[in-house]
Structure 1
Amino acid sequence: MDQRVSFITLAVHDLDATRRFYLDGLGWTADLDVPGEVLMIPVGEHLVLSLWHEAGFEAEVGAIRRGPGLAPLTLAHNVASREEVDAVLETARRAGADPVQDAQERAWGGYTGYFGDPDGFRWEVAWNPGPIGEKVLP
């Protein structure tokens, strides 16, 4: 098996709110947009963020866990500087992200902040000055 990820698929409660946030708010472009069903957004070379309405997701994958707290995952958007971290967080804030946690210096040497999308999925915006951080930049 090749060592790679092709799709990141998330179940969302309100696909219209998700569309407004990612396409209108963040300015991203979808390759596939089926109202009421799915939104597929290319997010990297050979990588697609697939946002399914939770009913369709459950029909295909099985029952999803519901309850208080955050989903136990984060998505990360790495950038080349501290200034870009702040700029991306501001873009997310203008797009309606809630919450937005301002960036801060991290003990491991980076600078990161977080924002939540309409379903509460947390996006980390990070400047990572090390080799792994440089590896993921375009």
Structure 2
Amino acid sequence: MDQRLSLVTLAVGDLPTTRAFYIDGLGWEPAVEAPGVLMLRAGEHLLLSFWDRREFEAEVGPIGSGIAPLTLAHNVSSAREVDQVLDQARAAGAEEVRLAEHRAWGGYTGYFADPDGFRWEIAWAPGEVNEIVLPPAPHAD
């Protein structure tokens, strides 16, 4: 099995609200839309998929309640960008979970919750992590 992730699927309570948050609020573009499903390109070979909770449960079984024991991370190339993305998420209606702060390991991160409570970490992680997860910077011609 190749070491890669193809899709991350999240069950959501109100797909139109989720769509409005990500598309209208954060400016992402849909890659695939079907009844009860919204998929967004999240990387070169990665889709972030949102399923209507009822359809999700019909396929994979009942899910529990409370905060999902996971976070989604969006890494950026500077601490300033962390603040900009957190501001954009707040303006789109995100719940502020944790203000951005400098971390002992040298990075700068903060958290927000999307309309279904999924926690997003917005991070600047100088060094190896950002070298792996960030796309190459565009070259000036």
TM range (shorter): over 0.9
Aligned to 2:139: none
SS at match of 2:68: coil
Correspondence list, 1:15-94, <5 A: 15-35=15-35, 37-66=36-65, 68=66, 70-94=67-91
C-alpha separation in 1, matches of 2:89 and 2:129: 24
Q: Secondary structure at the match of 1:43?
A: strand
> Runs (4+) of structure 1 moved beyond 3 Å?
none
Change in 2 beyond 3 A, CA 1:100/1:94 = farther
1:31 alignment partner, SS class = strand
Partner of 2:100 in structure 1?
Answer: 103
Other-structure match for 2:138: none
- 1:47-98 Cα deviation digits (max 9, x unpaired): 00000001110111111112x4x21000000001000101111110111101
Higher mean C-alpha displacement, 22-31 vs 128-137: 128-137
Q: Secondary structure at the match of 1:114?
A: strand
Quote the residue 1:9 is aligned against.
9
The alignment's C-alpha RMSD in Å is 1.0
Identity %: 64
- Gapped regions of structure 1 (runs ≥ 5): none
Distance of 1:32 and 1:88 partners within structure 2: 24
Does structure 2 retain, via aligned residues, the 8 Å contact 1:89–1:100?
Answer: no
> Counterparts of 1:100 and 1:3 in 2: how far apart (Å)?
31
Q: Hey, what's the Cα distance between the residues in 2 that align with 1:93 and 1:5?
A: 28
Using the size of structure 1 for normalisation, the TM-score is 0.94
- C-alpha distance in 1, partners of 2:80/2:13? 33
CA distance in 2, matches of 1:51, 1:101: 24
After superposition, give the CA deviation of every residue in 1:84-121 in whole Å (9 maximum; x if it has no partner).
10111111011110125220011111100001100000
C-alpha distance in structure 2 between counterparts of 1:91 and 1:8, whole Å: 22
Aligned residue for 2:120?
123
